Copies of this chain bind each other. A is one copy, B any other.
Amino acid sequence: MDKLRSWNDGPAKRAIIDFVSAVTDRKGPHYVRPADRLAVFDNDGTLWSERPAYFQLLFAVDRVRALAPEHPEWSTTQPYQAILENDLETLAGLGTHALGEIVAATHTGMTTDEFAEIVMQWIETARHPYTGRPYTEMIFQPMLELLRYLRRHGFATYIVSGGGIEFMRPWTQRIYGIPAQQVIGTSIETRYEIRDGVPVLTRLPEINHVDDKEGKPVGINRYIGQRPIMAFGNSDGDQQMLQWTDAGDGLHFCGLVHHTDAEREYAYDRGAHIGGLDKAWDEALERGWTIVDMEKDWRWIHSWNLDQA
């Protein structure tokens, strides 16, 4: 039964269904046993929106504002000044490494448990600046259906994101149905220590792994230890993950979400300073990766479009 209800009939949906049919057909030449049915998904721009800025950056912005009274020096120091002055454009141009630095600078000293609580409180209360919706409603309904469709067909679905691993893990099970151990992301160092007789892991301002571009196949190998047969991204940050998947033996699927829908979401690709799609697009055209045209291929973008329909 076709559960990809939010996908229009078209080449992208067809390619997905054909691929899943082929690798699950026990008698076919492309059969893949369930243990090897690994699918990896970028998060920002692939599973949920990344505009007006990476949502983790908006989380960091809220954290800087919340902590600003304790840090008077921030009002004249970048990048804090830009945050406190609401200069999102300056911030957005800083890239993943800078995001990691801001996160480290504003999110350290507490334990991993305390941080998970801060994230959960934010994700449950914060609202997207343009739509006024909770961030968890900014996920793409067709991709959620795809995750479920794959799991129903014996796939393990992983997130492989440039975003912070501990920023995602507290809510991915509830929102995407993906457990913590199937979330790979950028990570910082932690230190084990006993505080008042209780073992804790303290978050340190030191990067352990940047899970972007070349870091994505490195992260896949480090965490999963096996090559995926399906990968989905939306920007040049996903190019190496797609190459890595494309280089596997046997049938595999490489997909790119193309943000073409200025009316229902956003339209951007080459030259965009968030989620730029340039080299990965060229390679997709050259290698025949599947390009999902949001405007044409997706019947609804978000679950609330569906409510309104």
Contacts and interface: CB of A to CB of B under 8 A. Distances in A.
Interface of A: 35, 112, 165-166, 169, 173, 179-181, 183, 187, 189-192, 194, 198-199, 201, 208-209, 214-215, 217-218, 221-226, 240, 243-244, 247
A240 B192 contact: yes
Contacts of A208: 208-209, 222
Contact of A190 (B179, B194, B221, B247): B221
A166 B225 CA distance: 8
A222 B247 CA distance: 27
8 closest A-B pairs by CB: A180-B225, A192-B214, A169-B225, A199-B243, A181-B224, A199-B247, A192-B217, A180-B226
A240 B243 CA distance: 39
A225 B191 contact: no
Q: Which of A166, A198, A218, A244 has the most CB of B within 10 A?
A: A218
B225 A201 contact: no
Contacts of A217: 192, 199, 201
A225 B224 CA distance: 14
A225 B226 CA distance: 19
A165 B247 contact: no
Contacts of A224: 180-181
Nearest to A209: B208
B192 A222 contact: no
Contacts of A181: 181, 223-226
Q: Which of A192, A209, A215, A217 has the most CB of B within 10 A?
A: A192
B199 A240 contact: yes
A223 B223 contact: yes
Contacts of A225: 165-166, 169, 180-181, 183
A256 B244 CA distance: 41
A100 B118 CA distance: 36
A226 B165 CA distance: 12
Nearest to A225: B180
10 contacts: A180-B225, A180-B226, A181-B224, A181-B225, A190-B221, A191-B214, A192-B215, A199-B240, A201-B218, A223-B223
Contact of A221 (B35, B112, B198, B209): B112
Contacts of A226: 179-181
Nearest to A166: B225
B218 A192 contact: yes
A169 B247 CA distance: 21
